[in-house]
Amino acid sequence: MVMNRAKQPKPATQAKPGARTADGTRGNSGLQSKLGPQTRAVHGGEPERHGVNGPVVTEIIRTSTFTFSNTEEMKEWAEGKNKAYIYTRYGNPTLSVAEKKIAALEGAEAAVVAASGMAAISSSLLAVLKAGDELISTAQLYGGTYRLMRDVFPNLGITVHHVQPDLCGIEKLVNARTRALYVETPTNPTLRLVDIEKAVAFANKHHLVSLIDNTFATPVLQNPIRLGYDLVVHSATKALAGHSDILAGVSVGSQTWMDKVRQMIIYLGGSLDPGAAYLLIRGIKTLGVRVARQCENAMAVATFLEKHRKVERVHYPGLPSHPDHELAKRQMRGFSSMLAFDMKGGLPAARRLCDRVRLFLMAASLGGAESLVILPIYSSHYDMSDEELKRAGVGPGTVRVSLGLEDKEDLIEDLKQALE
């Protein structure tokens, strides 16, 4: 019987009345939607704390399993008649707070957290696609997402077609088997933008499910759900958690889609650990102030780099020289904490720079307190042919930068000494 229950897409996120639950969210969803984004980041998804003698912060419910009160409750759970917490892979109160907080931030009905960004991305795509389906995706993508589509999807009978971020020629890629459109904007690592409204209009016209990776923008800078997207995914490892100390992912969308994504996470096992969920919740509370500071640092560093004689080109949508600057002004509330630049002198020059920085740390990932530099060809975009790198807009001399929370003057000084 419990085996049958596993086939029913009913999330175990709500406990029976009186049980430990995240449903006592402060304010109803109508009220939540009237609050500003930083207020939602702090209070969204949190249990009611007024009139309660309890902690100010969400507890870590560190358990893999939950007790049933009696066999009747167990039977009802198996029949899908109650949504008690049963086992953390199916749901957990700490995870529920993180999910409701992120849903509130993105302006969505629901969210499902996962063990990593890739767990959220793979489970979301597999909730949408089946053998025989075709997917259209931007060619400029986080390398891990691209490799999933290149190395795994063909084995599952799923065909992927790639378009450039300007969606040029996309009409020619649609046929009766096309099921979904997946985009990343801004793209990793060269921060090209996809016109979100144009992508949604195209998906709607052809009855495609629309998915978007919102990691680089964060919910602070853009909310694709509000523009009509079906599913938004994030590597919550990055800015959402914000301190480079956990792996996490999240999928956001309608309750119907989230039930399907949760079911896929239950099948595949990519659920988040409650301890990591606690750090995610804590990180999200300061998301707005961190992203604002990081965007300011990114703008200052991009402006400095653009004038440097050893730099060929800077990829930052905040610069008027960026091909998507006007689009960025239209669809984003800031220009991102990420940038990339191409060194004159190609790979040797890019390696020299990375080996010489002192304040910037040489590491993969992004969105943390520490500023980072990395060479995409040796990290996110490893194991790609010259052709694939070209299509992804990555050159051998491309350096990707994640701006942290340091003082911009110190970051610029560090780059200056490393470039000399």
User: Cβ distance 145 to 120 under 8 Å?
Assistant: no
User: Cβ distance 410 to 353 under 8 Å?
Assistant: no
By beta-carbon proximity to ligand PLP, the closer residue of 47 and 224 is 224
| Residue 344 bears catalytic tag | no
Per the residue annotation, which of 40, 83, 89, 100 is the catalytic one? 89
By beta-carbon proximity to ligand PLP, the closer residue of 349 and 403 is 403
By beta-carbon proximity to ligand PLP, the closer residue of 94 and 237 is 237
Going by their DSSP bridges, the two strands 361-362 and 209-213 should be labelled as unpaired
Shortest Cβ 142–ligand PLP spacing (Å): 3
Per the residue annotation, which of 213, 230, 342, 414 is the catalytic one? 213
Shortest Cβ 270–ligand PLP spacing (Å): 10
By beta-carbon proximity to ligand PLP, the closer residue of 93 and 270 is 270
Shortest Cβ 137–ligand PLP spacing (Å): 12
**390: amino acid identity, one letter:** K
Q: Is 10 helix (H, G, I), strand (E, B) or coil?
A: coil
User: Cβ distance 14 to 92 under 8 Å?
Assistant: no
By beta-carbon proximity to ligand PLP, the closer residue of 178 and 188 is 188
Q: Which residue is nearest to ligand PLP (CB)?
A: 117
| Residue 390 bears catalytic tag | no
Per the residue annotation, which of 238, 260, 262, 400 is the catalytic one? 238
| Residue 238 bears catalytic tag | yes
Burial of 51 (0-12, 13-18, 19+ CB in 10 A): exposed
Give the list of residues 6+ apart from residue 217 with CB closer than 8 angstroms, or none: 185, 186, 332, 336
Q: What's the distance, Cα to Cα, between the start and end of the chain in Å?
A: 69
Shortest Cβ 84–ligand PLP spacing (Å): 30
Determine the Cα–Cα distance for residues 224 and 345; give it in Å rounded to an integer.
Answer: 38
Per the residue annotation, which of 85, 90, 142, 182 is the catalytic one? 142
- Spatial CA neighbour of 398 closest among 358, 366, 353, 361: 353
| Residue 89 bears catalytic tag | yes
Determine the Cα–Cα distance for residues 379 and 117; give it in Å rounded to an integer.
Answer: 16
Shortest Cβ 235–ligand PLP spacing (Å): 3
Determine the Cα–Cα distance for residues 74 and 1; give it in Å rounded to an integer.
Answer: 10
Shortest Cβ 141–ligand PLP spacing (Å): 8
Going by their DSSP bridges, the two strands 159-163 and 338-343 should be labelled as unpaired
- Spatial CA neighbour of 77 closest among 128, 15, 28: 15
Q: Please, how many CA atoms are within 13 Å of residue 35, restricted to the half-sphere of its CB?
A: 21
Helices (H), 174-247: 196-205, 218-221
Residues at the interface with ligand PLP (CB under 6 A): 116-118, 142, 144-145, 184, 188, 213, 215-216, 235, 237, 247, 249, 365, 380
By beta-carbon proximity to ligand PLP, the closer residue of 94 and 145 is 145
Please identify every residue annotated as catalytic.
89, 142, 213, 238
